Amino acid sequence: MNLVFLGPPGAGKGTQAQRLATAHGIAHVSTGDMLRSAVAEGTEVGRQAKGYLDRGELVPDQVIADLVAERIQADDCSTGFLLDGFPRTLAQAELLDGALSGLDLAIDAAVLIEVNEDELLQRLTSRGEGRSDDQPDVIRHRLEVYADQTAPLAGLYDQRGLLRRVDGLGSIDDVAARVAGSVNGRSV
């Protein structure tokens, strides 16, 4: 099973993605985590990406699409994968489609975790993980980038009959149960 996770910063996407991927024995592919590791390791991609991350901007589509295309061919993705944080623009969705068709793969469902903006701001300003992009002005910018560039992807996956909307309010366990229910019945 191959899944896409969509949702604004602060929606709890990473936590839910990890749980669902573990439950299904599929790889959790988080582009944010991949980029933060690349920055920490000082790789070429990391050097290119650092400024974008610090400003809350998106790294160039082709850079991230190439990373993901390579990542989904790793051994641990052979049972399936959950893409967390990608695609994030319509151009990335097209690049993903191209990579998947070349590998004879497809997306089975796209899970959108929905949380209202007041709650998102509340969560992001109090999560205090020390992420360099969790400064108030950068948070506001990440939410704008999401609304402008990423939110339209829900329509794209909805047109394809793949979108599963999940209410992201409530406890982690409550949301996890909704997420699990939303993908039930998909072929594994």
Catalytic residue IDs: 13, 88, 127, 131, 142
Taking the least distance from each CB to ligand ADP, the nearer of 45 and 185 is 45
Out of 24, 28, 142, 178, name the contact with ligand ADP by CB under 6 A: 142
Q: Which of residues 63-102 bind ligand ADP (CB under 6 A)?
A: 64, 85-86, 88, 92
Distance CA 108, CA 140 (A): 32
* Residue, CB closest to ligand ADP: 32
- Widest Cα–Cα separation across the chain: 42
Taking the least distance from each CB to ligand ADP, the nearer of 53 and 183 is 53
Q: What b/e string do you get for 28-46 counting C-beta neighbours within 10 Å, with b at 16 or more?
A: bbbbbebbbebbeeeeebb
Number of H helices, E strands in the chain: 9, 5
Query: Is residue 39 within 8 Å of residue 49, measured between CB atoms?
Result: yes
Window of 19-27, 48-56, 71-79, 164-172 that interacts with ligand ADP by CB under 6 A:
48-56
Q: Which of residues 17-46 bind ligand ADP (CB under 6 A)?
A: 31-32, 35
Distance CA 81, CA 89 (A): 19
Residue 53 within binding range of ligand ADP, rule CB under 6 A: yes
DSSP 111: E
The nearest distance, CB 64 to ligand ADP, in angstroms, is: 4
Distance CA 45, CA 42 (A): 8
The nearest distance, CB 47 to ligand ADP, in angstroms, is: 14
Q: Provide the binding-site residues for ligand ADP, judged by CB under 6 A.
A: 9, 31-32, 35, 52-53, 56-59, 64, 85-86, 88, 92, 133, 142
